[in-house]
Amino acid sequence: MRVFKQIFTLLLALALLLPLAPAVRAAESGTDAGEGADGLNDPRFAGKSWEELMDEFLAEHRAAPESVACGWCNTVTGEERYHNGDQYMVSGSMYKVPMNMIFTEKVHKGEIGWDTFIGGYRYEYCLHATIVDSNNDVARGMWDYLGGYQPYRHILAPYMGEDPDTVAEKFYENNFSTPRQMIYSLKLLATESERFPKLIDTMLQAEPNKYFRERPHDYDIAQKYGYWPDPNSWHVALNDCAIIYTEEPICIVIFIDSVNEQASRELLKDYCDLMIAYTEYSTAARREAERIAAEEAAIAALATPTPAPEETAAPAPEGTSAPGVPPLPGGSETASSSVFGDVILPLFLALLVALAAALFLFGALRRARRGKLNLPWALAAILLTAAALWLCILPQREASSAAASSAAAESIREGEPQQTVTAFFDALKAGDYQEACSHLSGVSTLGLERRPSGEDAAALWDALKDSWDYKLYGECCETPSGAVQQLLFSTLDFEAMRAAVKEKTESNVERLAAELSPDEIYDGDGAYLDSFTQRAYREALDEVLAHTADYGDLTGLNIRLEYAGDQWLIVPDSALYSALTGGALKGKGA
């Protein structure tokens, strides 16, 4: 009977350890766990050098390489390309562009006015007559005003990138120039147009259906042709130069010396088409390279994410797709060690304590039955029994936490946090801010719902929203407080846009001041009219908004999530707000 009671008591003590089983099962289940840009495949340009491109182009037109000289320049990047770039050829009337740069800059500096008589005509008429009508008599009067042909060429040289004292003698011999000299003039005119008021506008009126503009194009072309039939031979010089307002404006020029004028005209028109297509291709290729570089930089920045204050991110083991973020649990040595320390060891200790409690309890009962109850034995039995109960209850609580953690981990593996992130950003792009806020923790509004009332602010706001885009990077990873999903977010850099608008406004003020009459610029006190400064600002803003691709910003974000109420919610932070506002709103720590 005594042995039966001892065995029965021991079984009761062991029964106290049964609640540990769920914790073991929970821990075990936890451990079981480039696109190409459009147009980049154009066979005319893909994988070819400029020299190969020109060789093929001239061969298709059966043009002798030495009979053609040409140039191309991207005014945004400064890239220049030439075929026979330093070969002097007859300019024809193309010289009237740099010649008018001399005079329009004099107007800009206040040395002459639009009504100043040049060769018997008001200069404003001379500008139109030489650029639009290509009047040679008026042009002669203009260079005579400068002291004659040789002094005029001496003054002209710096506008063509040459030192008048060291330039080749060929430059003074007659109306000769090179592609490089003409590109220099066009680039100077395009990039510093405020120095040469009205000249580009006048070039936009020249020969609307001939030369580079004979075929329809999607871009404005400010051109000046050159034509000179050699009276002593059958040769004809057929040239054209232009500023073409592609997305990134370009300057092009071509000189053709041929006995077949009709073939030359076709070559000239085809050259214009080819250079526009080449610009579109090279711009797309460069932007694709910049996009890839920006994405790589954003990814590199994600390699050292800043953890939330309550978190300390563990170093990512080899094979983790999102660098710097703790991995999902599953099969690692660290996870196995955690199971031993958190479950097996407490179970073993609880078993020992329970056995000791049972032994002390047996001793106390035996002594009590004999009427010799020993107080220390009784207290020891009670304390050891309580310790056994505590060791059993604690793993039970940990088991519940482990079960919840296991549910969250399973949810992560099934991609639910990624679905939350995708739903949030898709709602943002669609302008459904109520839906977007439903995926945020502790936030009822983003402050983005109301469109600004001012016209300029509204235009900037619309451009910002249109720029939003995102791309998930890597897998969602578990953290001590929830999960982290990394992504690459595209927006606009408002600071860069502000700086550009300011710079362009100042440039516009200078340009418009040279083009407009005083009563359109100043009030009675000699201050700028509001209408004048507003025009300068608005034109600058319109130009910036027309080229928002130049102000794109790609940033890497660590989107933090918490698991609450059986769903994942995004925990917004200052980095997210800063990205959504193009850097205009920076919270603490941003």
Which is more confidently placed, 364 or 158?
158
8 Å CB contact between 354 and 383 = no
8 Å CB contact between 292 and 281 = no
- On the question of pLDDT at 392 being above 60, the answer is no
Give dist(CA 218, CA 388) in Å, integer.
85
Q: Note the pLDDT of residue 362.
A: 65
- On the question of pLDDT at 87 being above 80, the answer is yes
**Dihedrals φ, ψ of 489, to 5°?**
-115, 130
Which is more confidently placed, 310 or 207?
207
- On the question of pLDDT at 144 being above 90, the answer is yes
Give the chain's mean pLDDT: 81
Domain with CATH 3.40.710.10 in the chain: 59-291
pTM: 0.64
8 Å CB contact between 189 and 117 = no
8 Å CB contact between 483 and 561 = yes
Which is more confidently placed, 28 or 276?
276
Structure tokens at 390: 């505590």
Distances in Å between the Cα of 342 and the Cα atoms of 31, 240, 249, 396, 507 are: 13, 82, 67, 11, 70
**Dihedrals φ, ψ of 327, to 5°?**
-80, 165
| Eight-class DSSP state of 528 | B
- On the question of pLDDT at 164 being above 70, the answer is yes
Q: Which helix (H) or strand (E) holds 412?
A: helix 375-413
Which is more confidently placed, 361 or 475?
475
Which is more confidently placed, 315 or 92?
92
pLDDT band at 409 (very low <50, low <70, confident <90, very high): low
Distances in Å between the Cα of 494 and the Cα atoms of 231, 273, 469, 589 are: 60, 35, 16, 19
Would strands 176-177 and 250-258 be described as parallel, antiparallel, or unpaired? unpaired
Q: Note the pLDDT of residue 442.
A: 86
Average confidence (pLDDT) over 168-188: 96
| Eight-class DSSP state of 124 | H
- How many CA atoms are closer than 13 Å to the CA of 344, on its beta-carbon side? 8
CA angle, 15 then 17 then 23, to 5° = 135
**Dihedrals φ, ψ of 19, to 5°?**
-60, -15
Topology of domain 59-291, CATH: Beta-lactamase (3.40.710)
Give dist(CA 382, CA 356) in Å, integer.
11
Q: Note the pLDDT of residue 271.
A: 98
Q: Note the pLDDT of residue 473.
A: 87
- On the question of pLDDT at 309 being above 80, the answer is no
Which is more confidently placed, 166 or 20?
166
8 Å CB contact between 461 and 451 = yes
Structure tokens at 388: 């056994």
Closest by CA position to 178, among listed 187, 166, 189, 170? 170
Q: Note the pLDDT of residue 447.
A: 80
Average confidence (pLDDT) over 109-115: 95
- On the question of pLDDT at 463 being above 50, the answer is yes
Q: pLDDT tens-digit profile of 338-376?
A: 445 555 665 666 666 566 666 656 665 666 566 555 556
Rg (CA), the chain: 40
Average confidence (pLDDT) over 53-74: 97
8 Å CB contact between 328 and 477 = yes
Instruction: Count Cβ atoms within 10 A of the Cβ of residue 369 and give its class: 0-12 exposed, 13-18 middle, 19 or more buried.
Output: exposed
User: Residue 205, Cβ neighbours under 10 Å: how many?
Assistant: 12
Rounding to the nearest 10 degrees, give the CA dihedral for residues 520, 525, 528, 529: -60
Please list the helix, strand and coil fractions of the chain in percent, rounded to the nearest 5, in that order. Answer: 55, 15, 30
Structure tokens at 183: 């590109």
| Per-residue 3-state assignment (H helix, E strand, C coil) for 418-476 | HHHHHHHHHHHHHCCHHHHHCCECCCCCCCCCCCCCCHHHHHHHHHHHHHCEEEEEEEE
Instruction: Count Cβ atoms within 10 A of the Cβ of residue 589 and give its class: 0-12 exposed, 13-18 middle, 19 or more buried.
Output: exposed
In the three-class reduction of DSSP (H, G, I as helix; E, B as strand; rest coil), residue 251 is classed as strand
Average confidence (pLDDT) over 289-297: 85
- On the question of pLDDT at 395 being above 70, the answer is no
Low-confidence winner among 191-195, 261-265, 306-310, 549-553 (lowest mean pLDDT): 306-310
- In the chain, the N- to C-terminal Cα span, in Å, equals 76
Give dist(CA 330, CA 239) in Å, integer.
72
Q: Note the pLDDT of residue 448.
A: 79
Q: How much of the chain, in percent, has pLDDT values that exceed 90?
A: 52
Give dist(CA 243, CA 249) in Å, integer.
7
Structure tokens at 581: 């506002």
Average confidence (pLDDT) over 282-309: 78
DSSP-derived secondary structure for 157-220: GGGGT--TTTS-THHHHSSEE-HHHHHHHHHHHHHTGGGSTTHHHHHTTS-TTSGGGSS--SS-
Would strands 567-571 and 552-564 be described as parallel, antiparallel, or unpaired? antiparallel
Q: pLDDT tens-digit profile of 322-335?
A: 333 333 333 333 33
Which residue carries 């936490």 as its tokens? 401
pLDDT band at 77 (very low <50, low <70, confident <90, very high): very high
Q: Note the pLDDT of residue 314.
A: 35
Question: What's at 547, amino acid-wise?
Answer: H
Average confidence (pLDDT) over 278-287: 93
Q: pLDDT tens-digit profile of 211-261?
A: 999 999 999 999 999 999 988 888 999 999 999 999 999 999 999 999 899
Closest by CA position to 574, among listed 419, 439, 420, 443? 443
- On the question of pLDDT at 510 being above 50, the answer is yes
Q: Note the pLDDT of residue 461.
A: 86
**Contacts for 143 with CB less than 8 Å, ≥ 6 apart:** 99, 149, 152
Give dist(CA 127, CA 275) in Å, integer.
28
- On the question of pLDDT at 154 being above 60, the answer is yes
Name, of 13-27, 58-72, 389-403, the range with top average pLDDT.
58-72
| Eight-class DSSP state of 39 | T
Which is more confidently placed, 46 or 341?
46
Could you list the beta-strand ranges (E) of 220-370. Answer: 221-229, 236-244, 250-258
Structure tokens at 420: 């939350």
Beta bridge partners of 121: 118
Give dist(CA 438, CA 129) in Å, integer.
66
Tell me the angle at which helices 20-32 and 345-369 cross, rounded to the nearest 10 degrees: 170
Q: pLDDT tens-digit profile of 532-585?
A: 999 999 999 998 998 888 888 888 999 999 988 788 999 999 889 888 888 776
